[in-house]
Structure 1
């Protein structure tokens, strides 16, 4: 059944990882009449669960790593491999797509890895890494489609059930499927009544589509703010695990993920990346009923780019009616800007920013465009603003 291998994996990596006990969330448990616990791998070393699988694969195959270790990744796995190799004084080579954000490249280099930027996508980087591995005789550690990596990720489940046995549901983000494969394999062989729920972004539903269709499919794109689970194609090994052990897979939208990130910051004071916030998004969107249950959410990582976080803030605020981008076309005469600004203020909206475009080539002669960024009090407040300004004769359009 593989449970023994998972326990061995835990003992193998235990000296190098943080033990993160379950955190009970009053803020989310009480309104949903459930007992909701966080497994906060966002606070793990390197900021992600990925360290577990990388370490297990490297330590278990240490004799194969004498020339060094290589992988392809644009994110958390890259840092996990680099960190693990640095701990063990093993050379690490990480192949990353050319479009990888600079902060991730620098973080990976900080752990002493040789970083090679190649190609426009993960697939390009992956093929390059395989070629280098062969030419330089390096040990390749796959991000998810590897049983040693999967067993390392499964140590999360070992910790959860060792701490608390009476769990009803565990909710897990899915990218390539390594995390949910490991957790579900361990859990179902220990207590089959525990529900394993996977979560994917609607824009990157590779495993969802594979399970529904009964065969692996490759997406044409996987653009999502949950970049940690933006995987176009499930692995063959992880696909089989998901078919066997996962009870259901739920899809969440970009707005729902953004709102969950925002709620973690506002209510729990936690920084969680899009992938890690996806499980909470299933509850906040009422796609998963948790009333009366003991539920564990896997916060898989906290490595979110600051620029992305800013965009997520606005997306989350907009989706809940707390932010509005309002465009108004005005006559280009003295006093018109002052008048509309006063009308907006009288409606109780807080003006965050105003941008004035007099020379927009798409505007009629004698007109000007003003874009307001407004802090609002909800959807009904936005409706009131739009209705009132329209009634006053303003030519408006909105975003948010």
Structure 2
């Protein structure tokens, strides 16, 4: 199978001039301590449509013949690919139809329609949405725009690799969020052609990591039940073309937990002032979960920033919990006036903030004359959590 070469990617870059933004590179000094050198973040979350997808979508659609353009294009997506196809088709004056799952977040639905696509909601799971889009293509003659498994798509995504090599020419390791593999295939093709010494690492969510078992089997395989908050990389099966690229050009595939993804989103928001979706933050999650595993200077690609506000709220809370910023405690205290006040006074002295509290007198585990107090506290991190717990024990409270 022929892989995408540097000429194709360079051609795509010329095509994309004036269409996509050259996205900035953010210096992440707070991540450097555990990795022993410079860490940079390539901000594709600041790209048009909020992700890298416009690069591949425009390259693919621009390459259609006049007859194909006249039939229009169709895509299936839960978000980023939909928006990339919608904008690309609009810029090229081509009719676009996009199928999205019935429960797609409203901001993604509104954005896709805002870029000019006709949107049809279909299916409770993405496979149903995809099947309907393919059926539409067969029935109408519209050209199906695959989200990752096409040479033009890979070439367009590879322009990210050209940019990052120019922005950080001394880079030693590149970390790329990976679902179906279009982005990492393109980046690896560009990097391997120009800097074969640079290590390219694909990052997948643990619950949707299709590449490790596929690589072990020597062919693309399907996950039975991919599940992760990072819906942008929740792809159950690699493509034939992207599998070939990853097999030949990518040095390693690592996985990250849901907790690390949450912490990564929170870190980008707090320290970098960047809104990044869970899939887009996978490279940062790898830096958090695998300290010292990557040779610096490191570039991590932030692949997208399209996150539903309600999900972002949940992720922030999840990330604060994973980062030790919340502490849940159960205490046994004497059932007499002033006991609860003493607990709260001590917690205040220790600098923790009470989020909620529950006072229970009825429990089979309680001794006569005892009550149980359940507390959720906001803290300053793992060390503060440990300190609060230890100090409460030293104060004579029974911490369960």
Greater shift, 384-393 or 224-233, is seen at 384-393
Alignment of 1:339-350 (within 5 A): 339-350=342-353
**Partner Cα distance (1:253, 1:110) in 2:** 34
**Partner Cα distance (1:285, 1:177) in 2:** 21
**Partner Cα distance (2:318, 2:191) in 1:** 35
1:117-148 CA distance string (max 9 Å, x none): 11121111111000011112111101111111
Residues 1:13 and 2:12 aligned together = no
Contact 1:330 1:395 in 2 (8 A): no
3-state SS in 2 of match to 1:238: helix
Contact 1:27 1:268 in 2 (8 A): no
1:69-89 CA distance string (max 9 Å, x none): 110000110111111122222
CA offset at residue 334 of structure 1?
Answer: 6.9
Alignment of 1:252-291 (within 5 A): 252-290=256-294
Alignment correspondent of 1:315: 318
**Partner Cα distance (2:58, 2:362) in 1:** 56
Residues 1:106 and 2:113 aligned together = no
3-state SS in 2 of match to 1:33: coil
3-state SS in 1 of match to 2:328: strand
2:123 counterpart (110, 113, 119): 119
Q: Normalising by structure 2, report the TM-score.
A: 0.88
Q: Normalising by structure 1, report the TM-score.
A: 0.88
**Partner Cα distance (1:354, 1:224) in 2:** 29
CA offset at residue 333 of structure 1?
Answer: 8.1
Flag the 1:61–1:255 CA change in 2: closer, same or farther, 3 A.
Answer: same
3-state SS in 2 of match to 1:189: helix
Flag the 1:30–1:393 CA change in 2: closer, same or farther, 3 A.
Answer: closer
Flag the 1:205–1:288 CA change in 2: closer, same or farther, 3 A.
Answer: farther
1:287-312 CA distance string (max 9 Å, x none): 55345x32211111111222222222
Alignment correspondent of 2:303: 300
**Partner Cα distance (1:272, 1:141) in 2:** 25
Flag the 1:168–1:384 CA change in 2: closer, same or farther, 3 A.
Answer: closer
Alignment correspondent of 2:356: 354
Flag the 1:133–1:328 CA change in 2: closer, same or farther, 3 A.
Answer: farther
Alignment correspondent of 2:49: 46
Flag the 1:188–1:133 CA change in 2: closer, same or farther, 3 A.
Answer: same
Alignment correspondent of 2:29: 26
Contact 2:280 2:302 in 1 (8 A): yes
Flag the 1:318–1:234 CA change in 2: closer, same or farther, 3 A.
Answer: same
Flag the 1:244–1:310 CA change in 2: closer, same or farther, 3 A.
Answer: same
Unaligned runs of 5+ in 2: none
Alignment of 1:1-400 (within 5 A): 2-29=5-32, 32-63=35-66, 64-290=68-294, 293-326=296-329, 337-351=340-354, 353-354=355-356, 356=358, 371-387=374-390, 392=396, 396=400
CA offset at residue 380 of structure 1?
Answer: 3.8
1:273-298 CA distance string (max 9 Å, x none): 2122111222222355345x322111
Contact 2:329 2:399 in 1 (8 A): no
Contact 1:177 1:239 in 2 (8 A): yes
How many residue pairs get aligned? The number is 394
CA offset at residue 47 of structure 1?
Answer: 0.7
3-state SS in 2 of match to 1:381: helix
Unaligned runs of 5+ in 1: none
**Partner Cα distance (1:105, 1:285) in 2:** 33
Q: CA RMSD in A?
A: 2.9
Contact 2:100 2:122 in 1 (8 A): yes
